[in-house]
Amino acid sequence: KNEVEQSPQNLTAQEGEFITINCSYSVGISALHWLQQHPGGGIVSLFMLSSGKKKHGRLIATINIQEKHSSLHITASHPRDSAVYICAVGHRSGSEKLVFGKGTKLTVNP
């Protein structure tokens, strides 16, 4: 069983729609990361959170530690938001590594 599960795998939206991408994990974590992978392959860190909610521009990330669940929301989506969004967790055990989900491929059509 994967330690990090994302849904949906693929998501197509119309410009302006509100987007939600979900991430569930099965281990105790110290922090959860949301990353964006561009079509060319580069990875950008969007958020790191261990509780509550963070907002940056049109992006909002929330986490519920008790339910081991996080969501990434995009308000007023735009074609330039098209990318793969990846959830990754750091173990509470003290491990250095991040464990990644398979990613959600988002396509926003004009």
Partner 1 sequence: EPEVTQTPSHQVTQMGQEVILRCVPISNHLYFYWYRQILGQKVEFLVSFYNNEISEKSEIFDDQFSVERPDGSNFTLKIRSTKLEDSAMYFCASSESGGGMRDTQYFGPGTRLTVL
- Is residue 20 a contact point for partner 1 (CB under 8 A)? no
Using CA atoms, how far residue 75 sits from 41, 52, 70, 84, 94, in Å, is 24, 18, 16, 16, 34
Task: Assess 33 for contact with partner 1 (CB under 8 A).
Answer: yes
Report how far apart the first and last C-alpha atoms of the chain are (Å, whole number). 37
57 forms part of the interface with partner 1 (CB under 8 A): no
Give the CA diameter of the chain. 44
Q: Write down the least CB distance from residue 15 to partner 1, Å.
A: 27
Q: Does 7 bind partner 1 (CB under 8 A)?
A: no
Of the residues 19, 63, 86, 106, which one makes contact with partner 1 according to CB under 8 A: 86
Is 30 near partner 1 (CB under 8 A)?
Answer: yes
The answer to whether residue 56 forms part of the interface with partner 1 (CB under 8 A) is no
CA distance 105 to 103: 6
Quick check: bond before 8 cis, omega within 30?
Answer: yes
Q: Rule CB under 8 A: is residue 42 a binding residue for partner 1?
A: yes
Contact residues for partner 1, defined by CB under 8 A: 29-31, 33, 35, 40-45, 48, 86, 88-92, 94-103
